[in-house]
Amino acid sequence: MEMIQNETNEGVLTVGGAEVPALAREFGTPLFIMDRGLIEENMRAYKSAIDEAYDGRGLVLYASKAFSAKEIYRIANKEGLGVDVVSGGELYTALSAGFPAENICMHGNNKSIEEILFAIENGVGRIVADGEEELEILDKLFEGREKLPRVLVRIRPGIEAHTHDFIQTGQEDSKFGVSLSDGEALRVLCKPYKNYKITGVHCHIGSQIFEDKPFMTAADLMVKLLSDVYKESGHLLEEVNLGGGFGIRYTDKDTPRPYHDAMLATIAAVKKAAERYGIPYPFLLVEPGRSIVGEAGVTVYTVGAIKDIPDIRKYVSVDGGMGDNPRYILYGAEYDAVLPEKTKAPREEVVTICGRCCESGDILIKDICMPKVQRGDLLAVLSTGAYNYSMSSNYNRLPRPAVVMVKDGEAKLCVRRESYEDIIRNDI
Ligand code: LLP
């Protein structure tokens, strides 16, 4: 198996130029290690495509649900990206990190009034309204205010991209957005509001998608919608937000395209559609999450109990599990793993890597061929940078791991490991 991260000649796994075993000694396990240089590179891959092929008429919004902690907002800001937030909590984290509010885009299918007010009062640049009811609410909340966010409307484009059911969000049977196919979108977008004008449309067709085609189709549909709205109401919407969804490599079954190229294909589709439907090129927004941080992360565990059930299965338990990575139990997600101290050891036995929670489904990787492992070995699961830490829990009262970012061999702690005291903090 080809490795995503690097290794030394002695067979030691490195991330961002630092040796993983040394980081595990310094910060303990389980530990999230993130390659800061790769995150920056991924951010640039998207941004440079917009700069080169679209004269910079766009903004890449990092979808911070993939991994949200103050440091990632600082990196996104330094790289000239905006961010997508979906809750008051993500917004608060971004603002606490000094992220410029005008480059924040606020999402959510059920934002509370308090969250909307929090966003408006802090000068958030964009709000994506999920439906007509929210557009009405915004109209009331905007009354008498001077500085208003731009308002985009989330559209359900009816595209079924090839991905897991739960992470597919653009299809008709979905809690998100307003329907394109039955004319609801056109009607909603043409309706005038007293205190503001809608500025654009948004769609998100799903996640972990490898083909360019669904994005190109979405681009075409959204640009056509702008043209239909213009014809119908004379109001020209200026912005198209195509969401996120670019796939990453978890195992060698996954074959992502370079994000820069995928972005160029999307831009070409936007331009072509604008020319075809006779409207100016819209301002373009995209919201990659997984593809920015996913491959940049590894989780390092220490191996504990090993149980070999003859003719059935060999379980290798690690000191984390579904608390820090619920993606196997939620989606049957597949991962690859290596032994950070023995990357060159031959893979010779099939084992199941499981966690330490009181739950049979607490598995990280089922039936993976690994080198011989022993209690005390380090074990690293690869490509865990997205939707792992951000979906982690304290199930069984396990403290969440620390997160370190590494670049040029320098490690920086960016989220502290939780203590038992943290676990009982809110208990009365
Ligand atoms: N924008 C919107 C409106 C979204 O709903 C999402 C993801 C994104 C952007 C970012 O998509 P990405 O580039 O990361 O694919 N927890 C699941 C993923 C859920 C994604 C939900 N929305 C998982 O672990 O696979």
Assess if residue 86 is contained within a domain: yes
203 is catalytic: no
Whether residue 45 lies inside any domain: the answer is: no
In a mutational test of the pocket of ligand 1, which residue from 84, 204, 211, 242 has the highest number of ligand atoms less than 8 Å from its CB? 204
Query: 285 and 316 in one domain?
Result: no
Q: Which CATH number characterizes residue 127's domain? A: 3.20.20.10
pLDDT at 1: 45
Out of 65, 242, 381, mutate this one to test ligand 1's pocket (max ligand atoms within 8 Å of CB): namely: 65
Residue 48 included in any domain: no
Pair 278, 361 in one domain: no
Asked if the structure places residue 281 within a domain, the reply is: yes
How many domains does the chain fold into?
2
**Residue 44 forms part of a structural domain:** no
Digit-coded pLDDT (tens) for 362-414: 999 999 999 999 999 999 999 999 999 999 999 999 999 999 999 999 999 99
DSSP secondary structure string, 39-73?
A: HHHHHHHHHHHHHHHSTT-EEEEEETTSS--HHHH
Same structural domain, 19 and 77: no
Inter-residue contact 43 to 60 (CB < 8 Å): yes
Top mutation candidate among 287, 335, 389 for ligand 1, by most atoms within 8 Å of CB: 287
What is the pLDDT averaged over residues 276-299?
Answer: 98
Last residue of a domain, which of 290, 320, 343? 290
Domain-embedded: residue 49: no
Measured in angstroms, how far is the CA atom of residue 393 from the centroid of ligand 1? 18
Q: Which of 105, 203, 358, 414 is catalytic?
A: 358
164 vs 274, residue with greater confidence: 274
pLDDT for 173 equals 83
Report the distance separating Cα 148 and Cα 138, nearest Å: 10
Which domain-ending residue is among 261, 290, 319? 290
* 126 and 259, same domain (yes or no): yes
CATH of the domain at 306: 2.40.37.10
Q: Counting every residue, how long is the chain?
A: 428
For residue 302, give both structure tokens. 């220490």
The verdict on 346 and 402 lying in the same domain is yes
Q: What is the pLDDT of residues 211-256, one digit of tens each?
A: 999 999 999 999 999 999 999 999 999 999 999 999 999 999 999 9
Tell me how far apart the alpha carbons of residues 289 and 387 are, in angstroms, rounded to a whole number.
9
* Token code pair at residue 48: 């440079």
pLDDT at 142 over 80: yes
Quick one: what percent of the chain has pLDDT higher than 90? 94
Q: How many CA atoms does the CB half-sphere of 164 hold within 13 Å?
A: 12
Whether 282 and 346 share a structural domain: no
Instruction: Report how far residue 404's alpha carbon sits from residue 330's, in angstroms, rounded to the nearest whole number.
Output: 25
Atom nearest to 247 CA in ligand 1: 15
Please say if the pLDDT value at position 43 is more than 90. Answer: yes
CA distance 21 to 427: 35
Residue nearest ligand 1's atom 6 by CA: 244
Residue with tokens 């690293």: 380
**Separation of 423 CA from ligand 1 center, angstroms?**
28
Same structural domain for residues 155 and 217?
yes
Residue 239 is predicted with a pLDDT of 98
Is there a single domain that holds both residue 271 and residue 355? no
Residues 16 and 165 in one domain: no
130 is a domain residue: yes
Give the 3-state DSSP-derived string for 257-285, with helices as H, strands as E and coil as C: CCHHHHHHHHHHHHHHHHHHHCCCCCEEE
Q: Name the average pLDDT for the chain.
A: 96
Chain centroid to CA 302: 27
d(CA 185, CA 125): 23
- 66 C-alpha to center of ligand 1: Å? 7
CA distances from 1 to 312, 314, 346 (A): 25, 21, 10
Task: Judge if 118 and 184 occupy the same domain.
Answer: yes
Q: Where are the beta strands (DSSP E) in 166-255?
A: 178-179, 200-202, 239-241
72 and 168 belong to one structural domain: yes
Give the whole-angstrom CA distance, residue 101 versus residue 93.
12
Query: What average pLDDT does this structure show over 144-162?
Result: 90
Token match 């993976």: residue? 368
167 band by pLDDT with thresholds 50, 70 and 90: low
Q: Which pLDDT tens digit goes with each residue over 84-111?
A: 999 999 999 999 999 999 999 999 999 9
Residues with CB under 6 A from ligand 1: 63, 66, 84, 107, 167, 169, 204, 207, 243-246, 287-291, 327, 387, 391
Examine the pLDDT at 172 and tell me if it is beyond 90.
Answer: no
Same domain, 118 and 11: no
State which residues form the domain around 237: 54-290
Q: Which of 290, 325, 342 is the last residue of a domain?
A: 290
pTM: 0.97
How crowded is residue 369: how many other Cβ atoms within 10 Å of its Cβ? Answer: 11
Residue 51 has pLDDT above 80, yes or no: yes
| 272 confidence band (pLDDT: 50, 70, 90) | very high
Mean pLDDT along residues 28-32: 98
Cα 206 to ligand 1 centre (Å): 7
DSSP conformational letter for 48? H
Question: Does 89 map to a domain?
Answer: yes
